[in-house]
C-alpha cells in the first residue's frame, strides 16, 4: 500500500484510540466524587455514633444522680390526656394510689404485710395516730417555750430586786453620818452606775459624786497646808544645854543625865501654843471634824501676822491657802447625806 492509503487508516486508528481513552478518563473523573461521598458518609456515621454514646453516658449518669425524676416522667406519660378546650397544665394529674403487696408467708407460718410504697416525688399522708403524736410534740414544745419565758421573766425580776436592794444598802451607808468623804465619793459613784435609776436620779448621783470628790480634794489640800505651817512653827523646846561636855566617859555620862537650859522667851512659847492648836485642828480634819468659826478665825489671824512679820524682816513667807471658815465643806457633806436620806424615803 502506498503512503497516501496508509495515512487515512492511521488517522482512523488514532481517532478510535482517542475515543476509547476519553471515556476512560471520564469514568475516572466520575469515580472521584463517589469515593468522596462515601468517605463523608462514613465520618458522619462515626460522628453520630459518638454523639449517641455521649447521650447514653449522660442519661446513665443523670439516672444515677436523680432517680426520682425519671419515675415522675414515667408517671406523667401514663396520665390521662387533657380534655378539649383545656390546656395540659390546667388538668391535674390523677393521684396514683400505692399498690399494697400481697401478704407473704414466712417459714414459721407467720404472715408479714409489706408497707405500701409511696410513689417517688409524692408526700406520704399521715395517719391519725401520727398526726396526734405530732400535735402532742408541738404542744409540748410550746409548753417548754412558755416555761422558759416565765423562768426568764422571774430571773429578770429577781435581778431587778437584787439591784434595788444593793442600791438601798449603798444609800444607807451614804446616809450614815459616820461615813467619810473617801467612802462617800466611791459610794455615790457606785450608785450612779446602778441600772435601776431613772435619768434624773442618775444625773443627781453624778453631781453628788463630783461634789464628794471636790470636798475630799479641798480637805486634803487644807491638811497639807496645815502640815507646812506646823513644820514652820516647830522650834527647839529650849536653848542649848549649859552643862559642858567632858572627855572622860564617866563624866560625859553624868553630864548627859542632867540638863541645864535657859527658859524660853514669850515669842517661842506663843509659837509653840499656836503649833499645838494647829496640830489638833489637823487631826480633826482627818476625821472630818472642822473647827468652829470663832475658834478658827483667831488662829488664822495669827498666821497672817506671822507672815507679815516675816515679810518685814526679809525672811521667807508662806502662802496661807486656808479658808476663812469651813461652812461650805460642812454644807457639801450634809447635802451628800441628806440626798441619800431623801432617796430612801421616796423609795421605801
Does 48 fall in a domain? no
Rg of the chain taking only CA atoms, in angstroms: 61
For 114-151, how does the pLDDT look when each residue is reduced to its tens digit (9 = 90+)?
455 555 555 677 788 888 888 989 999 999 999 999 99
Number of residues that make up the chain? 348
196: which DSSP letter? T
What is the structure's pLDDT at 5? 47
What is the structure's pLDDT at 244? 74
Does 128 fall in a domain? no
More confident residue, 285 or 24: 285
Does 77 fall in a domain? no
Round to whole Å and give the CA distance between 195 and 200: 13
Does 253 fall in a domain? yes
Does 61 fall in a domain? no
What is the structure's pLDDT at 43? 86
Does 280 fall in a domain? yes
Tell me whether residue 279 is exposed, middle or buried, using C-beta atoms within 10 angstroms of its C-beta: 0 to 12, 13 to 18, 19 or more: middle
For 267-308, how does the pLDDT look when each residue is reduced to its tens digit (9 = 90+)?
556 788 899 999 999 999 999 999 999 999 999 999 988 888
Region at 97 (left for phi over 0; alpha for psi -120 to 50; beta for the rest): beta
Does 206 fall in a domain? yes
CB of 270 within 8 A of CB of 276? Answer: no
Q: 65 φ, ψ to 5°?
A: -80, -40
What is the structure's pLDDT at 38? 75
More confident residue, 88 or 161: 161
Q: Tell me which residue of 123, 104, 106, 122 sits closest to 114, measured CA to CA.
A: 104
Region at 161 (left for phi over 0; alpha for psi -120 to 50; beta for the rest): alpha
Q: 121 φ, ψ to 5°?
A: 85, 0
For 317-344, how does the pLDDT look when each residue is reduced to its tens digit (9 = 90+)?
667 889 999 999 999 999 999 999 999 9
What cell numbers appear for 174 in the block? Answer: 451614804
Q: Three-state DSSP class for 58?
A: helix
Orientation of helix 199-233 relative to helix 266-286, angle to 10°: 160
Integer CA distances (angstroms), 267 to 95, 306, 313, in order: 124, 11, 15
CB of 235 within 8 A of CB of 269? Answer: no
What is the structure's pLDDT at 73? 52
Q: Both ends of the chain: CA-CA distance in Å?
A: 164
Q: Which domain holds residue 314?
A: 152-346
How far from the centroid of its chain's Cα atoms is residue 319's Cα? 53
* Number of domains the chain contains: 1
Residue 67: is its pLDDT beyond 80? no
Q: 111 φ, ψ to 5°?
A: -95, 130
Does 230 fall in a domain? yes
Amino acid at each position: 500500500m502506498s503512503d497516501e492509503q496508509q495515512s487515512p487508516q492511521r488517522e482512523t486508528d488514532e481517532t478510535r484510540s482517542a475515543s476509547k481513552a476519553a471515556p476512560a478518563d471520564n469514568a475516572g473523573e466520575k469515580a472521584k466524587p463517589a469515593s468522596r461521598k462515601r468517605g463523608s458518609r462514613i465520618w458522619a456515621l462515626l460522628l453520630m455514633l459518638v454523639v449517641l454514646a455521649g447521650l447514653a453516658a449522660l442519661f446513665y449518669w443523670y439516672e444515677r444522680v436523680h432517680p426520682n425524676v425519671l419515675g415522675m416522667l414515667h408517671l406523667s406519660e401514663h396520665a390521662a390526656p387533657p380534655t378539649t378546650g383545656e390546656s395540659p397544665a390546667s388538668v391535674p394529674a390523677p393521684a396514683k394510689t400505692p399498690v399494697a403487696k400481697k401478704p407473704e408467708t414466712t417459714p414459721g407460718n407467720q404472715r408479714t404485710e409489706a408497707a405500701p410504697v409511696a410513689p417517688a416525688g409524692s408526700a406520704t399522708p399521715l395517719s391519725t395516730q401520727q398526726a396526734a403524736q405530732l400535735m402532742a410534740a408541738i404542744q409540748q414544745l410550746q409548753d417548754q417555750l412558755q416555761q422558759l419565758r416565765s423562768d426568764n421573766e422571774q430571773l429578770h425580776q429577781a435581778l431587778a430586786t437584787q439591784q434595788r436592794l444593793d442600791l438601798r444598802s449603798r444609800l444607807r451607808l451614804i446616809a450614815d453620818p459616820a461615813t467619810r468623804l473617801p467612802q462617800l465619793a466611791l459610794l455615790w459613784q457606785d450608785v450612779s452606775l446602778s441600772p435601776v435609776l431613772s435619768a434624773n436620779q442618775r444625773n443627781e448621783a453624778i453631781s453628788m459624786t463630783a461634789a464628794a470628790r471636790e470636798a475630799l480634794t479641798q480637805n486634803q489640800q487644807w491638811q497639807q497646808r496645815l502640815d507646812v505651817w506646823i513644820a514652820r512653827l516647830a522650834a527647839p523646846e529650849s536653848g542649848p544645854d549649859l552643862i559642858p561636855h567632858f572627855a572622860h566617859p564617866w563624866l560625859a555620862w553624868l553630864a548627859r543625865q542632867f540638863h541645864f537650859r535657859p527658859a524660853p522667851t514669850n515669842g517661842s512659847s506663843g509659837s509653840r501654843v499656836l503649833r499645838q492648836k494647829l496640830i489638833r485642828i489637823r487631826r480633826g480634819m482627818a476625821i472630818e471634824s472642822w473647827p468652829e468659826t470663832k475658834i478658827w478665825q483667831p488662829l488664822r489671824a495669827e498666821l497672817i501676822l506671822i507672815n507679815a512679820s516675816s515679810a518685814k524682816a526679809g525672811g521667807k513667807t508662806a502662802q496661807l491657802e486656808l479658808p476663812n471658815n469651813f461652812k461650805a465643806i460642812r454644807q457639801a457633806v450634809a447635802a451628800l447625806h441628806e440626798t441619800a436620806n431623801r432617796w430612801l424615803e421616796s423609795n421605801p
